[in-house]
């Protein structure tokens, strides 16, 4: 079972990857759709997803963000077929433990965008940080630590994209937001970029093959 929004996001990401890498991956689209539509448990679907990436190493840069999409799809589509409290069960707790080192902070951002849609509000960086991630609350200091580079550079919302890129490349290698910083900040600066805006973002991108597919996923969720 696949959520229509996830189906669109997958297509948008692969299209952007093809455009900005020069590698046509359109034929792989159906393989990903087949994985997401599998009538299997979550870990089986993770193994199937990894199988597609193992067969197509040119797409490796997108492996973990597609894991995030698989997780979002599970929450929005697959979980409807399971018992109501499945996400509180020992089985799901074990799955979370087993996949602890998988995925990226894109997962939280996509959950936030779904919440924005549900509540009919416009996505904004300050709202994401303070109302969704609760970075100001004492009990959410892990989130504060992860998002510290974003918190410290909120002024970039008023800056050209090349300024965002300058900060992105200087982030420490061990920052959990190093890869996502540029597409995330560009998205919050302009949640509905025109074709010309996207070209400017691509021109200054830290890694076009990653940044532009991630941006395409985010804009497809609006």
Q: Where are the domains of the chain?
A: 1-103, 120-206
- All residue ranges of the chain with pLDDT < 70 are none
What is the predicted pLDDT for the residue at 59?
97
- CA nearest to 66, candidates 21, 20, 115, 17: 17
Rounded to two decimals, the pTM is 0.95
Residue-level length of the chain: 222
What is the predicted pLDDT for the residue at 151?
96
Please report the beta strands in the chain, taking only residues with DSSP state E, as ranges in sequence order.
none
| Residue found by looking up tokens 């919050």 in the block | 188
Q: What is the pLDDT of residues 61-72, one digit of tens each?
A: 999 999 999 999
- Kindly list the distances between the CA atom of residue 132 and the CA atoms of 69, 118, 136, 176, 183, in Å, as whole numbers in the listed order: 19, 14, 11, 18, 19
Please report the beta strands in 63-171, taking only residues with DSSP state E, as ranges in sequence order.
none
């Amino acid at each position: 079972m696949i959520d229509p929004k996830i189906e669109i996001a997958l297509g948008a990401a692969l299209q952007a990857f093809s455009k900005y890498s020069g590698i046509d991956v359109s034929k792989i689209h159906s393989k990903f759709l087949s994985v997401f539509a599998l009538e299997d448990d979550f870990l089986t679907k993770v193994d199937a997803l990894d199988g597609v990436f193992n067969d197509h190493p040119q797409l490796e840069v997108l492996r973990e963000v597609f894991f995030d999409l698989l997780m979002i799809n599970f929450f929005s589509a697959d979980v409807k077929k399971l018992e109501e409290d499945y996400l509180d069960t020992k089985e799901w707790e074990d799955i979370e433990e087993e996949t602890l080192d998988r995925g990226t902070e894109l997962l939280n951002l996509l959950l936030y965008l779904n919440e924005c849609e549900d509540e009919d509000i416009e996505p904004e960086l300050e709202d994401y940080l303070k109302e969704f991630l609760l970075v100001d609350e004492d009990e959410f200091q892990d989130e504060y630590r992860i998002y510290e580079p974003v918190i410290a550079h909120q002024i970039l919302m008023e800056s050209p994209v090349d300024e965002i890129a300058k900060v992105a490349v200087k982030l420490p290698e061990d920052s959990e937001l190093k890869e996502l910083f540029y597409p995330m900040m560009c998205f919050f600066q302009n949640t509905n970029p025109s074709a010309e805006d996207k070209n400017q973002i691509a021109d200054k991108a830290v890694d076009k093959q990653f940044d532009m597919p991630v941006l395409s996923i985010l804009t497809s969720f609006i």
